[in-house]
Structure 1
């Protein structure tokens, strides 16, 4: 009679083969090489005297640098909020049955995606030159009810966030449109059968499901916006983080340490944004992703064994995966 051996799961398997794991030398060698290169890079960054780390620590919490961080965050938040609102409107217009709305949305996206953001910021900086006064009146006539000097409205700060928001809205609108089109059309049809209107369907059925697809690229665009604020010098707007560090570098004739200061702060803010993005992805991904259920780890054999197990499966295995797929939201 063949010898029987008890495995870790409590099963007696006849003629059990004690197989050895496959040796994988390639990943080990690659890991060693990458680790050595990383250590060499770290050693070079620490010991290179030209990086001037004492100057970096001296100006890392400089008041002008901290003020620049605040203005950069203001530009990022305001620009992204306005861009997200505009992008949803543009995406809905692209899906509208009205050809005028579709055409306007297409033109907006075509124009702002087709021109560099730096060029757009330059134009917004010259807005007061192009349009000296902003007024309300009867179109195509000289009748004017109210007007104001453009310089009083389109300040450097306003020109900066308007230019950034309009450019970003063109990109985000395509992301939102892709998310909306990824939702099963059957969801909309079912909502219409329940008597729901188009606005309610979009707000309660389509958008909540589309957020799972919209959030990851929107997080990337937010991080990109944080770094794009360094271009607002074109307006010109001279209070952001990049300009603040450049001003100090020009004064003390040490550009490299101040560039490192800017990099450290950008990396810190980006890391925080990445954490927020991951939390949002987890929130809107509830019900979509498979997740482990039951008690993990080895369990003693149970008598009788768990139901639904075939003869070749461990009878006491409770480390299972929930494969349920989310299919919609209640109205």
Structure 2
């Protein structure tokens, strides 16, 4: 109060602006870093000393090194090393990926078998494993393939002839590599946000497509650094196969220096070749990591030859004049894109452990209706929404869309639970827009939109691209068709998510708090799109905290608390004459 009084009498005229100063005469002196300079000098001294000692000491035998570096025996051993590395890396990576997928499988027996394999193979030293495989003929004289527990044999071959030193080396390195690589891949899979799996499942993508198109490409950013580290270790581990008398690079060098006694120069031959191998692998790692970082950075650096390969990319089809008109129409004329479905919720309940999140929920939503679900946090709104498209399986009760039970097939009075494959197909009729967008960050906007129509609906690519172009035009994002999600604002990402859900032409569209992750200034652009969708006849179910939006758009407003529907009715009644005291108390706080 004193401050206000002290300054209240100051005349506006007395607040004169400071004269503009000329700063061009100032000289900027960079900050000095004596510790950094000292470290640089120390590193330079060490490098010079090592190089001088290495190249001036005659005992290194550089003449002998030059004589043997490109010698035929060394190059043959090098070729065998490279072949072993390549074969073991490819087979070990494939087997390791399969083991990782088995580890995260819902089958306890398959997951346990994978865990046991990984535990055993990671426990055995490579050199011991190689020796065991090399002596496998002692345990099993022949390898037989036939019908178990019968005398029928199709193949009978001596183990010693089948398991040559090269085969034993290849098999040993593969088994060892796969065990370690499996955990690397599993770690990468677990690093992918769970929302990506939910988004893929909500689109109805098959499990195999979810794994290899959505999850693994994103997991590669976590897999590659450690995976290439294992690959480099594998290339060096090939030196251990000397115990099998297999003439790879290191064994060949050993044989030579035992004959001419030039130990150091021959070891340097092997060392330099290993350095070359590791350098090539490191360069490859750099560019492969850049490739899989697509969508992770706003301004990615172009890959080598990227411009050349872009010439062969199929151009996008040009929108015809009729489709071009939709740019300014929004969804006013888009009723042909979808037909609303009636949703019936029959007494569903759901618990997470001892916490009951849905308690005997009963609700009927007519085809083409717009329903807004309100309630405090933790009231079960999102769980109810996720139950409608079977992302959450209810403990009791049923949900149907146009008479078809979600997650079940009906024969008479009997309901048969559907397999995951069939559930995914039916889920395509129930689109979902998530609170955190859940766009696939490694795919462009166009790829996000066409993925499900092609894989789930069986639409050909050209038709899917044309539909994607039209939907992007309707949400005002035609110019972002080749952008990655990270290059978009939050409001743009949510509009793309709406277009992606609509690309499947669903009967029902679910919105899980579509504006809660947006800045206030971006909320309006998303709500405008939903308002236009509300007039198209699509059945919309919206969980929201935007009370004014719910009042304007919804046909029915539902208020939930503690997993129960306390009140449901038209907005005019709910917002002005609510019957339940808890509804009135909640609205009094938010209106």
Q: Tell me which interval the TM-score lies in, with the shorter structure as reference length.
A: 0.7 to 0.9
Residue 327, structure 1, aligned to residue 448, structure 2: no
Counterpart of 1:156 (choices 162, 165, 171) is 165
Partner of 1:316 in structure 2? none
Residue 66, structure 1, aligned to residue 180, structure 2: no
Q: Report the alpha carbon displacement of residue 20 of structure 1 after superposing the two structures with TM.
A: 2.9
Query: Residue 78 of structure 2 contacts residue 248 of structure 2 at CA under 8 Å; is this kept in 1?
Result: yes
Partner of 1:183 in structure 2? 192
- Kindly report the root-mean-square deviation, in angstroms, between the aligned alpha carbons of the 2 structures: 2.0
Deviations 1:257-302 (A, max 9, x none): 1000100111011111111111100100112124389xxxxxxxxx
Partner of 2:269 in structure 1? 261
Partner of 2:125 in structure 1? 116
Query: Residue 88 of structure 2 contacts residue 173 of structure 2 at CA under 8 Å; is this kept in 1?
Result: yes
Query: Residue 137 of structure 1 contacts residue 145 of structure 1 at CA under 8 Å; is this kept in 2?
Result: yes
Partner of 1:23 in structure 2? 32
Q: Report the alpha carbon displacement of residue 78 of structure 1 after superposing the two structures with TM.
A: 0.2
Q: Find runs of 4+ consecutive structure 1 residues off by over 6 angstroms.
A: none
> Bigger shift: 66-75 or 178-187?
178-187
Query: Residue 249 of structure 1 contacts residue 255 of structure 1 at CA under 8 Å; is this kept in 2?
Result: yes
Q: How does 1:240-259 map to 2 (within 5 A)?
A: 240-259=248-267
Query: Residue 112 of structure 1 contacts residue 170 of structure 1 at CA under 8 Å; is this kept in 2?
Result: yes
Secondary structure at 1:97's aligned position in 2? coil
TM-score, normalised relative to structure 2 = 0.47
Residue 239, structure 1, aligned to residue 239, structure 2: no
Counterpart of 1:287 (choices 295, 311, 314) is 295
Mapped to 1, the partners of 2:102 and 2:185 lie a distance apart of 11
Q: Report the alpha carbon displacement of residue 189 of structure 1 after superposing the two structures with TM.
A: 1.2
Q: How does 1:312-323 map to 2 (within 5 A)?
A: none
Partner of 2:280 in structure 1? 272
Partner of 2:217 in structure 1? 208
Secondary structure at 1:36's aligned position in 2? helix
Mapped to 1, the partners of 2:442 and 2:128 lie a distance apart of 43
Max Rg structure: 2
Secondary structure at 2:254's aligned position in 1? helix
TM-score, normalised relative to structure 1 = 0.83
Mapped to 2, the partners of 1:62 and 1:182 lie a distance apart of 47
Query: Residue 242 of structure 2 contacts residue 250 of structure 2 at CA under 8 Å; is this kept in 1?
Result: no
Q: Report the alpha carbon displacement of residue 143 of structure 1 after superposing the two structures with TM.
A: 4.5
Structure with more of its chain in strand, by fraction: 2
Mapped to 1, the partners of 2:189 and 2:166 lie a distance apart of 33
Deviations 1:94-117 (A, max 9, x none): 011111111111011101111111
Higher relative contact order (CA 8 A, sep 6+): 1
Mapped to 1, the partners of 2:270 and 2:298 lie a distance apart of 40
Structure with more of its chain in helix, by fraction: 1
Q: Report the alpha carbon displacement of residue 40 of structure 1 after superposing the two structures with TM.
A: 0.7
Deviations 1:77-108 (A, max 9, x none): 00000100011110000011111111111011
Query: Residue 214 of structure 2 contacts residue 440 of structure 2 at CA under 8 Å; is this kept in 1?
Result: no
Aligned residues: 291
